[in-house]
Structure 1
């Protein structure tokens, strides 16, 4: 049986950590704990392909970052990850004001495409900047307002929550290939 291809699009501001996230997970499940250095992937090598198997079949998960495809708006993604930098309030605001609107304006089937908000650079969350700090509950509330399916956060540099975030993304990606699809039954799930 041939592997099922699932297209995953990462969108968000520049420098929020999308490439670092993809670079870390590209090194395999043994490197999800954040050990070792990260060699950044090159945008021209997209899509970044990950093959996973469950008991029933194999899946070819193709990750696309907005920084490389000539026009990412021409892609037909099965899952969209809206990424923001936990240490930069402006990226949270842009996610809410710009990126979710881009999704709905660009993709005709946006009401059927599962959406996951991914908080990146968790290791840079700083208690010393009370105005800039974004706590998980605040980002979760924003995610609920945006009506996304899940909220996850992690650090690709330290590996904190990276394995859990990657597993959740893969779980939703696999579900997009089922008749029920990958969307949740109403409400955002925080992980």
Structure 2
């Protein structure tokens, strides 16, 4: 069975939850429910590698985080995931003001490069947030505006929607190995 190596880059503000997300999924599918303590990965240990076998083949997913290494701009990812902290409105605004521009500048040649938006820390969506609640519809609207292929959200701490988010990222990444690629035909879908 042929093995495909797929590079996935997570972009987003520092402390938006990328490392916690990667740390939780690295503990294995049976520990995604939030009941097992998270052992945080170190940025210097990148890439974070996940080997998955499916009916379609053997896949080696290499996840990189923009926190480290400093050379992430030299990567040629198969999929980019822009992340934000659901409990931090500036984190969402930075998708428009910083990360989508960084994506388009750094990967200008990759017009067909699939792009997902991932809302992290779903468990911290607070009703009494002075900056206003970031509802899924708002984040989905932003994902549509920047022409992302999908919007996903989850909580790595509680495990809420974590399996679904990881599966959706992997499914989109696997599609990059096909002739059609991973980018959707148009429009953003919500997970």
TM-score class, shorter: over 0.9
Counterpart secondary structure, 2:70: coil
Q: Which residue of 2 aligns with 1:160?
A: 160
Contact 1:5 1:62 in 2 (8 A): yes
| TM superposition shift of 1:2 | 3.5
Q: How does 1:121-136 map to 2 (within 5 A)?
A: 121-129=121-129, 131-136=131-136
Contact 1:114 1:149 in 2 (8 A): yes
- State how far apart, in whole Å, the 2-side matches of 1:90 and 1:130 are: 12
Q: Which moved more, 1:108-117 or 1:151-160?
A: 108-117
Structure-1-length-normalised TM-score:
0.97
- State how far apart, in whole Å, the 2-side matches of 1:137 and 1:8 are: 25
Contact 1:87 1:132 in 2 (8 A): no
Q: Which residue of 2 aligns with 1:53?
A: 53
- State how far apart, in whole Å, the 2-side matches of 1:12 and 1:145 are: 17
Structure 1: which 5+ runs fail to align? Answer: none
Q: Which moved more, 1:7-16 or 1:65-74?
A: 65-74
1:182 equivalent to 2:182? Answer yes
What does the per-residue CA deviation read over 1:43-77, in whole Å, with 9 as the maximum and x for residues that have no partner? 11110000111113100000000111132100000
1:113 equivalent to 2:113? Answer yes
Q: How many residues align?
A: 191
Q: How does 1:19-168 map to 2 (within 5 A)?
A: 19-129=19-129, 131-168=131-168
- State how far apart, in whole Å, the 1-side matches of 2:153 and 2:126 are: 15
| TM superposition shift of 1:131 | 3.1
What does the per-residue CA deviation read over 1:13-46, in whole Å, with 9 as the maximum and x for residues that have no partner? 0000000000000011111111210000011111
Structure-2-length-normalised TM-score:
0.97
Q: Structure 1: which 4+ aligned runs deviate by more than 6 Å?
A: none
